[in-house]
């Protein structure tokens, strides 16, 4: 058996997972001395680099003291929990990273719960101990309490603790120790991570946990060999999720050396590898011996909690920006997404131009939309809706655990705003630095559209984190947006004169010189009702000039929407039109007559 250690790094978003992987790769000699290495080298996707978050789990391997350590970096955001769940099937332990300043956060609880349920014994890494006002000892107590709350067994409770600063590249076993490198963490991994179980002489069993594409090799499947061994050009049987058997030949085998794939002739149990040649391979399926195919347990993934309707763009500006604008293009792209995104579902609707897409949260769906617009797709989407369920005749809805860090002066207004959204406070911790931590259980639908309002009310200083907690009894109707919108009554180009006259009516979303169409949303009304306005009307010109009245217009900057903000903002009768170059808000029914008819039918 090879000397192999398989480990995943799990944590709440922004607690330093990818930075820690950077330090481990550099100090293990993975990169040569002259090689220029970017920060967060594992975040290879453009969106990951722009946003500073990990979206897709990624493999790397490093060598230390004769051991090959396979390291898997996982996403920290709750919306990508499906990535974490399937990765835990591949490893024998996890590094649980916790920020020495922020402590235990909602996603810390979620990922640790998953690891404990898989029977893994985590190594706890208290990261960012160099941060001012950090309290590592206090965080260790919080982590221990969390292990107890989640029902950890005695072996799991006896977890080793490492104190680290991934950014500065050092780790230590005790806070008082002197350390200049990651050696204490490497030693702890070798000592506490179990060797892979499995028998090299048993029939082959490999579980597929990730899918990717190569333009030369086609579909590639990544996973771990649990039993037996695999050779290049070996005849195998693929056991599908429904139990069906398909015969293939494995044409190529790749292992990992650092971040790069390296071709192998043979792989043995314990190895994490990528294989080519199986063109119908999918996540959760087993690659097995041809003569004696035995399936491994299928990966269980939490069900989606949020749904949105994706439709073909039918606005007056449809087809001006994008390359892919038809329903065929849309359904092909969604089917492609399903092949590697295990926590997403796509369902048809009554209309051939619309599909219901279900996922784990707004961020997961907005990342898909952002990727689509960059690829040249045009699409319009509805307001996100939570997915209800009925258990024993009782209607239930998803409840989120929200942790809010806010300045003391804003505590009252935050409690009031969460109360309006049917939130229930479960904890309040007064800090010594002028900040208070509030913990709430809130219906997931109550948090849709809340982040923008929250940042406004706390003047941009509040921090909001939330993740799925459980299903709870339906809390009744709630209203999230309390203001109407300004709707363009005509098609044309916006004019500064008209916009200036509309400023007292509310907040504008567009600047002068922007093309608009009838039914497009151009601003937020200062009152609860919608208002139809003319933004294309220019000033009538005469030869008369008046001192003062013809001064340059003073327009406030328009409110700009990111994709996430737009999805949070819209109401039930509105859509977000997404194209490669534009994000527009619009009414579902573009003309005022259609909207009046729809309103009467609803009543």
Q: What CATH number has the domain bearing residue 83?
A: 3.40.50.300
Beta strand ranges found along 372-484 (DSSP E): 379-381, 385-386, 389-391, 394-407, 424-430, 435-443, 463-473
Domain-located, residue 381: no
Instruction: Write the CB contacts of 89 (distance below 8 Å, at least 6 apart in sequence).
Output: 118, 207, 209, 224, 299
* Residue 153 and residue 247 in one domain: no
Average pLDDT per 10 consecutive residues for the chain, totaling 603 residues: 80 78 76 45 49 59 85 68 72 88 80 85 89 86 89 89 88 85 88 85 86 80 88 88 85 83 86 85 84 82 82 90 89 84 83 88 82 90 88 86 86 89 87 82 84 81 80 81 86 89 90 91 89 85 59 79 84 90 90 84 67
pTM here is: 0.74
Residues making up the binding site: 14-19, 127-130
Distance CA 255, CA 299 (A): 22
Residues making up the binding site for GTP: 14-19, 127-130
* Residue 142 and residue 13 in one domain: yes
Beta strands 583-587 and 574-578, pairing class: antiparallel
Distance CA 157, CA 571 (A): 47
Torsion, Cα of 44, 45, 48, 50 (10° steps): 100
pLDDT value at position 517? 92
* Residue 52 and residue 160 in one domain: yes
What CATH code is carried by the domain that includes residue 534? Answer: 2.40.50.250
Domain-located, residue 100: yes
Give 222's DSSP letter: E
Domain-located, residue 327: no
Domain-located, residue 344: no
What CATH code is carried by the domain that includes residue 267? Answer: 2.40.30.10
pLDDT value at position 83? 65
* Residue 506 and residue 563 in one domain: yes
pLDDT value at position 58? 64
Structural domain range at position 404: 389-473
Indicate the number of domains in the chain: 4
* Residue 209 and residue 161 in one domain: no
* Residue 159 and residue 102 in one domain: yes
Listed residues 449, 473, 497: the one ending a domain? 473
* Residue 111 and residue 71 in one domain: yes
pLDDT value at position 134? 83
Distance CA 65, CA 187 (A): 9
pLDDT value at position 44? 47
* Residue 521 and residue 589 in one domain: yes
pLDDT value at position 518? 92
Whether 458 and 407 have beta carbons less than 8 Å apart is answered as yes
pLDDT value at position 380? 93
Domain-located, residue 67: yes
What CATH code is carried by the domain that includes residue 405? Answer: 3.30.70.240
Distance CA 246, CA 293 (A): 11
pLDDT value at position 34? 40
* Residue 142 and residue 18 in one domain: yes
Domain-located, residue 380: no
DSSP SS3 for 107: helix
Instruction: Write the CB contacts of 366 (distance below 8 Å, at least 6 apart in sequence).
Output: 563, 564, 567
Domain-located, residue 455: yes
* Residue 174 and residue 270 in one domain: no
Listed residues 473, 502, 534: the one ending a domain? 473
* Residue 54 and residue 185 in one domain: yes
Domain-located, residue 228: yes
* Residue 44 and residue 146 in one domain: yes
Listed residues 263, 289, 315: the one ending a domain? 289
């Amino acid at each position: 058996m090879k000397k192999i250690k398989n480990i995943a790094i799990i944590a709440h978003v922004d607690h330093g997972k990818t930075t820690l992987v950077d330090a481990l790769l550099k100090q293990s000699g993975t990169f040569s001395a002259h090689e220029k290495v970017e920060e967060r080298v594992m975040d290879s996707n453009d969106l990951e680099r722009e946003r500073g978050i990990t979206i897709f789990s990624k493999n790397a391997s490093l060598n230390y003291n004769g051991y090959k350590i396979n390291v898997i970096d996982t996403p920290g955001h709750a919306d990508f929990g499906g990535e974490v769940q399937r990765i835990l099937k591949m490893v024998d332990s996890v590094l649980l990273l916790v920020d020495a300043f922020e402590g235990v956060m909602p996603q810390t609880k979620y990922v640790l719960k998953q690891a404990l349920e898989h029977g893994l014994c985590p190594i706890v890494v208290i990261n960012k101990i160099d941060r001012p006002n950090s309290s590592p000892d206090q965080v260790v107590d919080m982590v221990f309490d969390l292990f107890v709350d989640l029902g950890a067994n005695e072996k799991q409770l006896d977890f080793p603790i490492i104190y680290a600063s991934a950014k500065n590249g050092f780790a230590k076993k005790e806070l008082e120790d002197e350390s200049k490198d990651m050696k204490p963490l490497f030693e702890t991994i070798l000592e506490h991570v179990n060797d892979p179980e499995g028998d090299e002489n048993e029939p082959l069993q490999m579980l597929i946990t990730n899918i990717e594409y190569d333009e030369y090799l086609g579909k590639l499947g990544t996973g771990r060999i649990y039993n037996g061994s695999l050779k290049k050009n070996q005849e195998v049987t693929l056991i599908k999720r429904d139990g069906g058997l398909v015969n293939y030949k494995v044409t190529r085998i790749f292992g990992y050396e650092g971040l790069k794939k390296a071709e192998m002739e043979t792989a043995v149990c314990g190895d994490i590898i990528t294989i080519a040649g199986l063109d119908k391979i999918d996540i959760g399926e087993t690659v097995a011996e041809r003569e004696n195919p035995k399936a491994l347990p299928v990966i269980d993934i939490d069900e989606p909690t949020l749904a949105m309707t994706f439709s073909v763009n039918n606005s007056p500006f449809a087809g001006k920006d994008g390359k892919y604008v038809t329903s065929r293009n849309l359904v092909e792209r969604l089917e492609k997404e399903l092949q590697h995104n295990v926590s997403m579902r796509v369902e048809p609707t009554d209309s051939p131009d619309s599909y219901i897409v279900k996922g784990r949260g707004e961020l997961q769906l907005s990342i898909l939309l952002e990727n689509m617009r960059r690829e040249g797709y045009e699409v319009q989407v509805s307001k996100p809706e939570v997915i209800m369920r009925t258990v024993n005749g009782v209607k239930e809805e998803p409840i989120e655990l929200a942790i809010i860090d806010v300045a003391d002066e804003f505590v009252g207004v935050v409690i009031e705003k969460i109360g309006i959204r049917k939130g229930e406070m479960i904890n309040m911790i007064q800090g010594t630095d002028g900040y208070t931590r509030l913990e709430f259980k809130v219906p997931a639908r109550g948090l849709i559209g809340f982040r923008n309002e929250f940042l406004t009310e706390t003047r941009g200083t509040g921090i909001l984190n939330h993740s799925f907690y459980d299903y709870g009894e339906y809390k009744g109707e709630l209203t999230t947006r309390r203001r109407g919108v300004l709707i363009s009554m005509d098609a044309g180009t916006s004019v500064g004169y008209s916009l200036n006259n509309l400023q007292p009516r509310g907040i504008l979303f567009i600047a002068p010189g922007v093309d608009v169409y009838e039914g497009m949303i151009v601003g937020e009304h200062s009152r609860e009702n919608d208002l139809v306005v003319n933004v294309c009307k220019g000033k009538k010109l005469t030869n008369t000039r008046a001192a003062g009245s013809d001064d340059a217009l003073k327009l406030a900057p328009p409110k700009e929407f990111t994709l996430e903000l737009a999805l949070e903002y819209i109401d039930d009768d509105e859509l977000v039109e997404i194209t490669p170059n534009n994000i527009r808000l619009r009414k579902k029914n573009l003309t005022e007559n259609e909207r009046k008819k729809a309103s009467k039918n609803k009543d």
